[in-house]
Amino acid sequence: MARSSAHVSYAAPTVPMAIIMTVLCLFLANNVTHARTPATYIVGDEYGWDAIILMDTWAKGKTFYAGDILEFKYDLYSSNVMVVNRTGYETCIPNENAEEHRTGDDRIQLPYGLSYYIGTADAADCSAGLKMAIKAN
One character per residue 66-95, x = contact with ligand NAG (rule: CB under 6 A)? -------------------xxx-------x
User: What angle separates helix 14-34 from helix 2-11, to the nearest 10 degrees?
Assistant: 30
Tally the residues of the chain: 137
Determine if 37 is a binding residue for ligand NAG (CB under 6 A).
Answer: no
- Nearer Cβ to ligand NAG (75/90): 90
- Give how many residues touch ligand NAG by CB under 6 A: 6
Smallest separation (angstroms) from ligand NAG to the CB of 83 = 12
**DSSP-derived pairing of the beta strands 69-73 and 105-109:** antiparallel
- Note whether 41 and 81 are within 8 A (CB): no
H or E element that contains 130: none
CB of 109 to ligand NAG, least distance (A): 21
